[in-house]
Chains A and B, each alone.
Chain A
């Protein structure tokens, strides 16, 4: 890949943003803007990509052909979203093939939640309702606010399709909830998946390291604001279905409050929360990655490795 340099000064970039002109190419960027947009795009691309093997792992439990087809359609959407984000990275001088096929599993930058395997159709459905809602919350915010023009335009597709995914989750949760056994299974999934999705939005604003995401307008809302937006629809959905969640709307502040300890230690094998901890502990857990990290990255990388091996045999 040709080396790409961002020629603009910080002042020139900020002046462009003040004039409300979108940043279109690397020619409009400063080195700091380029590094920042690459960082946030990599997280987005990795998240979309890894959702495909993570959802496939659960989609095989689909209870009907229709359900299996819907799940596979969602997986295809996620791969297309990943393709878009890696393609944008490629235009910024990143070797996206190396990023996808040559990184160690632990180097991927997606949320920890996807490292905890979804082992049933009910967990797949709650993932659509929770995880895809998180994706919709994050990328909807980027779509409305980002200063990087190519990403803003690409997200028209992503925004539309993530809406379908979370509606798929909501409608199927309502369907599963019609029996007592279904309700119990939903509650068991919600018990471990709710706080993992609250975590999804990252460190609290007070501890956040990379402030360029808001400063450069890569996105419009802070981590804590996005967490609130997610809870403002996820909590009412659970309340509608009689599912207990460790969060409620505070009548005085009109903000959602997590009333269980947060953050917490998490036993990924048992899928169980194990009491209060600090964000340093959470960062260590995220960095160590979870139980399905190797398996899911391996599913993505296997095809290219096998093709390279075949080419070596022919050489």
Chain B
């Protein structure tokens, strides 16, 4: 009986770190512009723990225009000076 109880509990206890391993947490704000004469503006955000994957996700998710420039900034590096 004890063994049965333990085997039921084990997957639940172990599931969290495994689930966490698949859950990316770092947020990157995405900025882009369509024309050279316009400024970069925020078009959205993506979540990726790795900068190379962040680039791939940004390109594939925000593909609505033929951008001339796209930039990523880690959200934690943004400093708010005047809050809305």
Contacts and interface: CB of A to CB of B under 8 A. Distances in A.
A83 B22 contact: no
B47 interface: yes
B22 A304 contact: yes
Most A CB within 10 A of own CB, among B18, B42, B46: B18
B64 A161 contact: yes
Interface in A18-70: 21-22, 24
Interface string A147-176: 001000110110011000000000000000
A153 B22 CA distance: 29
Nearest to A84: B44
Interface in B48-63: 60-63
A73 to B, nearest CB: 10
B84 A157 contact: no
B73 interface: no
A97 B22 CA distance: 9
Interface string A275-315: 00000000000000000000000000000100110011001
Interface in B17-58: 18-19, 21-23, 42-47
A90 interface: yes
A87 interface: yes
A315 B62 contact: no
Interface residues of A, number: 23
Judged by DSSP, the binding face of A is helix
A234 interface: no
B22 A90 contact: no
B15 to A, nearest CB: 7
A304 B64 CA distance: 27
A80 interface: yes
A315 to B, nearest CB: 7
A97 B62 contact: no
Contacts of B60: 76, 80
Given A80-B60, A312-B14, A157 B46 contact: no
A24 B18 contact: no
Contacts of B61: 80, 83-84
A90 B47 contact: yes
A24 B84 contact: yes
B42 A315 contact: no
Given A21-B84, A80-B60, A80-B61, A87 B45 contact: yes
Interface string A224-263: 0000000000000000000000000000000000000000
Contacts of B15: 308
A87 B84 CA distance: 21
Contacts of B44: 84, 87, 153-154, 157
Nearest to B23: A97
Nearest to B14: A315
Contact of A160 (B19, B45, B64): B64
Interface string B56-77: 0000111111000000000000
Contacts of A22: 84
B64 A315 contact: no
A230 to B, nearest CB: 23
A87 B46 contact: yes
A97 B19 contact: yes
B38 to A, nearest CB: 14
Nearest to B47: A87
Contacts of B11: 312
A187 to B, nearest CB: 34
A157 B64 contact: yes
A308 B18 contact: yes
